[in-house]
């Protein structure tokens, strides 16, 4: 929305899927301190850090993280279902 209209919106939410769909950048706070401030892709690729402070990553990010942990060569910075499906199709063809 910032790029289209030139405005900034601050959204407070615990719904990671909602944030993944609409945000360009994410500020993650923990006990009043800034833990992360980066692009959606970079924040959601840090699944362990999110879990450690009591937040979940989007379900797709968690899936990619767990698949990588089981040895599948997939990136962990995926938070979009379509992108994940494309990457998983490619990975499973190898």
Q: Note whether 49 and 63 are within 8 A (CB).
A: no
- What distances in angstroms separate CA 93 from CA 5, 20, 62, 64, 90, one per listed residue? 41, 28, 22, 16, 5
> What pLDDT score was predicted for residue 2?
62
Which position has the higher pLDDT, 14 or 82? 82
Domain locations along the chain: 2-93
Q: What is the pLDDT of residues 42-89, one digit of tens each?
A: 999 999 999 999 998 899 999 999 999 999 999 999 988 999 999 999
Q: Note whether 43 and 79 are within 8 A (CB).
A: no
What does pTM read for this prediction? 0.80
Q: Note whether 57 and 68 are within 8 A (CB).
A: no
The angle subtended at Cα 57 by Cα 55 and Cα 41, nearest 5°, is: 125
> What pLDDT score was predicted for residue 71?
93
């Amino acid at each position: 929305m910032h790029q289209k209209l030139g405005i900034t919106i601050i959204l407070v939410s615990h719904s990671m899927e909602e944030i993944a769909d609409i945000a360009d950048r994410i500020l993650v706070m923990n006990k009043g301190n800034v833990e992360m401030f980066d692009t959606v892709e970079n924040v959601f690729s840090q699944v362990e850090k999110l879990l450690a402070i009591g937040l979940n990553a989007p379900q797709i990010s968690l899936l990619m993280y767990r698949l990588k942990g089981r040895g599948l060569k997939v990136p962990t910075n995926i938070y979009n279902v379509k992108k994940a499906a494309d990457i998983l199709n490619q990975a499973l063809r190898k």
